[in-house]
């Protein structure tokens, strides 16, 4: 079944574009109660044209986060107009440990992005992500702490937003993967061996993949490691390559980055790009400019570079 699901963007090579359009047009639509709460993946903390630069804003935001009880586990600048701060705290780690594959929810991402003369400070929406990762708690406490530290000027991302029910059973389109359809990158005899192999592989920088952060979950053999992908030779696994095509709105969705891999016991896995990209950009069109078609090569490319980086074997 997983092989069928992971036909991902190769649907374009198996069907005519017209055929794909017909299939998607015929898919049923669903009506939700008028009072159903719609969530969006990102929260804008503040946007300013005051002339303060990214570095000064970074210092201010960093202090606010640490004063607010968050630990900074990594920073990443995939391109010169942005810096991403990865944070965690005891609540995130302990709540992530409660559920299967909860490691994806052990961190939140805070972003500082320059758009023209404007500096945008934003962060991933913990409540949205808790639903995506099917966690046992909704991380409202974490959302409140981020809002207290940085502010909350409103959620953004897709125009309509998605309900909690949408998010817990999310997939982009027919034949696309769900959260449970994780992509196994490598398998080792035990957790320690797997962790050592992944750390060693990432240290080499093979395929332009580098370690950004690491968070170990309490009470279980599970770790999440965030990775940046530079995409050498303009390879379409690159973060800058992908974001230049899909992050085109005025308020930037920089918090999509960085990607992550999870080590659980002896297994190393990640989320397939067809899910991982779509969940942060659910309103991207299938075709046209600034669409999934514009990054059609990304899923297989990401799978290839991550598999190599963690010491796995390609099929």
Whole-angstrom distance, CA of residue 208 vs CA of residue 306: 10
Domain-embedded: residue 315: no
Domain-embedded: residue 40: yes
Whether the CB-CB separation of 295 and 245 falls below 8 Å is answered with yes
Q: Tally helices (H) and strands (E) across the chain.
A: 12, 11
Q: What is the mean pLDDT of residues 120-140?
A: 98
Whole-angstrom distance, CA of residue 78 vs CA of residue 85: 12
Q: What is the mean pLDDT of residues 198-221?
A: 96
Residue 73 CA: distances (Å) to CA of 65, 91, 95, 214: 12, 15, 17, 7
Whole-angstrom distance, CA of residue 297 vs CA of residue 304: 11
| CA nearest neighbour of 197 among 73, 309, 314, 313 | 309
Whether the CB-CB separation of 46 and 150 falls below 8 Å is answered with yes
Whether the CB-CB separation of 170 and 179 falls below 8 Å is answered with yes
CATH code where residue 248 lies: 3.30.310.70
**Predicted structure pTM score:** 0.89
pLDDT tens-digit profile of 50-97? Answer: 888 999 999 999 999 999 999 999 999 999 999 999 999 999 999 999
Domain-embedded: residue 314: no
In the prediction, which pLDDT does 263 show? 98
Instruction: Say how many domains are in the chain.
Output: 1
Domain-embedded: residue 191: yes
| CA nearest neighbour of 9 among 284, 277, 305, 295 | 295
Whether the CB-CB separation of 152 and 68 falls below 8 Å is answered with no
Is residue 234 very low, low, confident or very high in pLDDT (cuts 50, 70, 90)? low
pLDDT tens-digit profile of 248-259? Answer: 999 999 999 999
Domain-embedded: residue 292: yes
2 or 300, which is more confident: 300
Domain-embedded: residue 42: yes
pLDDT tens-digit profile of 134-193? Answer: 999 999 999 999 999 999 999 999 999 999 999 999 999 988 999 999 999 999 999 999
Q: What is the mean pLDDT of residues 198-202?
A: 97
Structural domain of residue 259, as residue ranges?
2-309
């Amino acid at each position: 079944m997983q092989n069928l699901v992971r036909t991902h963007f190769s649907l374009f090579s198996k069907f005519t574009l017209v055929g794909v359009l017909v299939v998607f047009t015929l898919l049923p639509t669903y009506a939700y109660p008028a009072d159903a709460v719609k969530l969006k993946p990102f929260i804008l903390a503040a946007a300013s044209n005051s002339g303060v630069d990214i570095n000064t804003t970074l210092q201010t935001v960093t202090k606010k986060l640490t004063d607010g009880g968050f630990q900074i586990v990594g920073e990443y600048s995939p391109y010169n107009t942005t810096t991403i701060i990865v944070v965690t705290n005891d609540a995130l780690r302990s709540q992530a440990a409660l559920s299967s594959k909860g490691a994806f929810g052990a961190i939140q991402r805070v972003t500082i992005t320059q758009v023209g003369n404007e500096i945008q400070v934003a962060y991933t929406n913990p409540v949205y992500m808790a639903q995506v990762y099917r966690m046992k708690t909704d991380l409202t406490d974490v959302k409140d702490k981020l809002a207290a530290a940085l502010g909350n000027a409103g959620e953004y991302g897709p125009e309509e937003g998605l309900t909690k029910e949408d998010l817990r059973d999310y997939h982009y389109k027919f034949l696309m993967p769900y959260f449970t359809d994780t992509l196994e990158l490598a398998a080792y005899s035990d957790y320690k061996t797997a962790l050592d192999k992944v750390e060693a592989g990432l240290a080499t920088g093979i395929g332009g993949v580098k370690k950004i952060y690491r968070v170990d979950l309490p009470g279980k053999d599970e770790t999440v490691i965030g990775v940046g992908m530079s995409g050498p030779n303009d390879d379409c696994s690159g973060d800058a390559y992908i974001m230049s095509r899909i992050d085109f709105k005025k308020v930037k969705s920089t918090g999509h980055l960085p990607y992550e891999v999870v080590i659980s016991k002896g297994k190393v896995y990640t989320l397939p790009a067809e899910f991982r990209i779509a969940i942060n950009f659910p309103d991207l069109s299938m075709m046209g400019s600034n669409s999934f078609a514009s990054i059609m090569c990304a899923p297989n490319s990401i799978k290839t570079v991550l598999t190599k980086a963690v010491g796995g074997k390609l099929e």
